Structure 1
Amino acid sequence: MSTHQKTSRQQETVGVILAGGRGERARPITLKSSDYIRSKALIPFVGRRLIEWVLEECRDQGIRRFYVVTHGLENRSQIKLLLGHGERYGVEIKYSRSRFDRYNVGSAGATLHNFEQWDLRGRALVLPVDSLFDFDLKAMEATHEQRGAVVTVAAVERTAAEIATKYGVMRTDAASLVEGFVEKPGPAELGELFPRTAADPAATLPTNAGMYLVDCDRLRLLAREPELFRQSHQRLDWGGDLLPWLVGRGQPVASHAIARLGDLGNVPDYLDTVQLVLNGEYEQMNRLMDVPDESVPRRWIHESSLYTKDDVTGTTLAQKIDEGSVQIGTGVRIGRDVEIGTGVRLENTDIGDGSEVREGSTLVRSVVGESAVIGPCAHVTDSYVGPMAEVHSEHNRPTCLESYSAIGDGAVLWPGSRFCGITVYPRLRVPAMTGVPAETELSSADDILHWV
């Protein structure tokens, strides 16, 4: 490599994607079966896999080299099978070596070990694969350079009401350098530490979004200090360990506000983020997604679905739209070869390729995976139905899913169930059930028998 190439590579920003988690909070979305994990990177999201959107968002802002930190056979093989070495995407992708899995203890520990393995220098954007970010990389780089930071933390501004007991807060000075961290403070503590939030409910504070712009050379040098070196071989997380360690030793850590963060780590946040994307709240996603219909704002219907006939009336979706026998509102994406029956109402909903939504069904603020079936007269609100799942329903025994219910891949529900906030694991066959308490997880046949 020439001197010019080396200098160019040191000035560029590379992407480091942390994809080693098991996605336990997001189950059943992160399960293909009860004993087979789907990598968080491969969560279906608005027509693609999540890591594809992450990759394209970063590529759209000039990143061409990516390093993916994976963990375990399933995680590594699934991601590599999808992305390869980046040829399809016009980028270069390298993966962490399996022999380092035992050292990938904590998000920061995994980052530091792989920085050394890859001999990374210059700048790296470190980001998790279970979140969606709306950010301006050039602006973040400018903050990083102006503050002379070892790490610049992407921050999301939130009100005290949003923060209380849910998010950690960064204490910053007038130059946006971090002075300390407050972990998930309650309302009273927030009022004491940040009086302006008590006086003004609209006042915001910076919270850690989990994305970091890093000076690799300086951080690698600091990682050789005995205390940090020892901790990185035990357990070292970014937010709870590394950042406080850096700030506590006077190392410059900057805060940079980004437009938006979508946490996809659990079912409610996943569904809420889908709604925001479908309604245009993510500027980067607006640029990356296909152009919506001209006739209805924020509506996408693949041409193949417009001309797919249902097997009851033999009419196409285009005919039904023209005659007004279906209602498809804003914030709706319908993938390829989807069959839509008469009397269907869709609003703020994402429908995967090859799915069927039978006559008389209503879906609002929900997600339906590829090749899933929603039976006649079903009511699905604020819920997730996984790929190949079958939600059977009948006119006189409609099935109702609401309040962040989640049906795993290939699960089958019989007509008449009413689920509020219920999780059903993949491939289970569930008889008609009502009265099951919210937040119940049906993960096995034994769980089902308990409530029948």
Structure 2
Amino acid sequence: MSTDAETVGIILAGGRGERAKPITLKSSDYIRSKALIPLVGRRLIEWVVDACRDQGIRRFYVVTHGLENRNQIKLLLGHGERYGVDVTYSRSRFDRYNVGSAGATLHNLEQWDLRGRALVLPVDSLFDFELKAMEEEHRRRGAVVTVASVARTASEIAGKYGVMRTDGLGLVQGFVEKPGAGELAGLFPGTGADPALTLPTNAGMYLVDCDRLRVLARDPGLFRQSHQRLDWGGDLLPWLVDRGLPVATHTIGRLGDLGNVPDYLDTVRLVLDGAYEQMNRLMDAPDGLRPRHWIHETSLRTKDDVTGTTLAQKIEEGSVVVGPGVRIGRGVEIGPGVRLEHADVGDGAEVREGATLLNSAVGDSAVIGPYAHVADSYVGPMAEVRSERERPLRLEGRSAIGDGAVLWPGSQFFGITVYPRLRVPAMAGVPAQTELRSAEDILRWA
């Protein structure tokens, strides 16, 4: 049971990560929990726990759904001993009731007998927020729920984000789900006159009054809906507002959505560039070689098999160019003539001679072949991007290569997805947004 003096964390980890494939796939038929998405050297849920612990949260309740989510998260976090926190998991027999983000929250508030305040947050996003400021807003408004919001312009919102209509006191009066540009101009006339004007959008994180929500959950209509499907943004929040219950908003610094490949890559770049103040505090200080660089000492000492020189030597002599926003994990081998910029390179990876990595993430033990050009793309753990000087491989346009996949030299891919463990021969002219999920898909385009 939580007390009124503390805020506990409720982490919602029940989704299947469909939008983030192939990052959330270990194989074509085995899901990796979204909580275990790799992000600048750690798993996402580790950053979430550390960010909350850094602001005083010591007790966490994880709402899981299904075998993969429950087992994978528990294997990583345990009961929180390594992280200096206490972690409790939802019971598997209640999975059938954990349908919808709000329904899962309401059921487990009762199951865990939670009182006082709880911070409810999903596990597929990175938040830059100050909990104390959010708690103060919550108290001042007497809110049942305080919604973390991100200020966005009309051009950013149109067709992608839901908008909240608020009064002068910062209380929510209504919701508009993913309005188009025309609807936005009609509802908020000022956005047409001033393109820089921002509106509050729902960030998907909520500070809640557990006692009041538990009482409200006994309403017969809400009770029935919570056993079918009840989501926060589309169902519970409008239900509260329609009944005149105080729902407040609190603007946070930033939200990074890791639920799809383009947003994942954007978030990685922003983290490496220092745009997330909380991540700046949690990450080790840059190594000092150049601004915003993290290169593990074991990688600086690692020699490549072409010149026999260490990465430190190659950086000093200028044969490897490391631009801004680069993180290189442990035991990484970097060949001569490599250029890296806004790149996250996992432990044990190899970036062979002449290769270029721009605005990309490379997983543990992946191999980027000689003279490959990888830009705005994700390459999963153990994947091989084979390439040759005479037949360089190009991977661009928010492409995503799953775990253990192999690409042959000479391929030119733009905006394609390759599922784990597929072996893809040299191909060109494959349309953007193509998903290669099986050998049959490859034969269709070969």
Name the structure 1 match of 2:445: 451
Structure 1 vs Structure 2 CA RMSD: 0.7
Structure 1 residue 322: Cα displacement:
1.1
- 1:120-150 per-residue CA deviation (whole Å, 9 max, x = no partner) reads 0000000000000000000000000000000
1:70-81 aligned within 5 A: 70-81=64-75
1:85-164 aligned within 5 A: 85-164=79-158
- 1:145-165 per-residue CA deviation (whole Å, 9 max, x = no partner) reads 000000000000000010011
- 1:39-90 per-residue CA deviation (whole Å, 9 max, x = no partner) reads 0000011000000000000000000000000011111000000000000000
How many aligned residue pairs are there? 446
Query: Which amino acid is 2:435 matched to?
Result: E
Query: Which amino acid is 1:379 matched to?
Result: H
Name the structure 2 match of 1:59: 53
Q: Select the residue among 243, 262, 273 that pairs with 2:237.
A: 243
Structure 1 residue 11: Cα displacement:
1.8
1:417-428 aligned within 5 A: 417-428=411-422
Q: Select the residue among 395, 398, 401 that pairs with 2:395.
A: 401
1-side partners of 2:308 and 2:118: how far apart? 55
- The answer to whether residue 196 in structure 2 is matched with residue 202 in structure 1 is yes
1-side partners of 2:243 and 2:5: how far apart? 27
2-side partners of 1:240 and 1:264: how far apart? 20
Structure 1 residue runs of 5 or longer lacking an equivalent are 1-5
1-side partners of 2:216 and 2:290: how far apart? 54
Name the structure 1 match of 2:76: 82
2-side partners of 1:282 and 1:415: how far apart? 37
Name the structure 1 match of 2:362: 368
- The answer to whether residue 340 in structure 2 is matched with residue 346 in structure 1 is yes
2-side partners of 1:425 and 1:236: how far apart? 32
- The answer to whether residue 157 in structure 2 is matched with residue 170 in structure 1 is no
- The answer to whether residue 179 in structure 2 is matched with residue 185 in structure 1 is yes
SS of 1:9's partner is coil
Q: Select the residue among 290, 310, 333 that pairs with 1:316.
A: 310
2-side partners of 1:39 and 1:219: how far apart? 28
- The answer to whether residue 398 in structure 2 is matched with residue 382 in structure 1 is no
Name the structure 1 match of 2:208: 214
TM-score by length of 2: 0.99
TM-score by length of 1: 0.98
2-side partners of 1:199 and 1:142: how far apart? 33
Name the structure 2 match of 1:3: none
2-side partners of 1:109 and 1:187: how far apart? 32
Structure 1 residue 10: Cα displacement:
2.5
1-side partners of 2:113 and 2:139: how far apart? 21
Structure 1 residue 188: Cα displacement:
1.0
Structure 1 residue 312: Cα displacement:
1.1
Moved more, 292-301 or 342-351: 292-301
Name the structure 2 match of 1:299: 293
- The answer to whether residue 253 in structure 2 is matched with residue 262 in structure 1 is no
2-side partners of 1:322 and 1:383: how far apart? 28
SS of 1:14's partner is strand
- The answer to whether residue 423 in structure 2 is matched with residue 429 in structure 1 is yes
Name the structure 2 match of 1:29: 23
Structure 1 residue 293: Cα displacement:
2.1
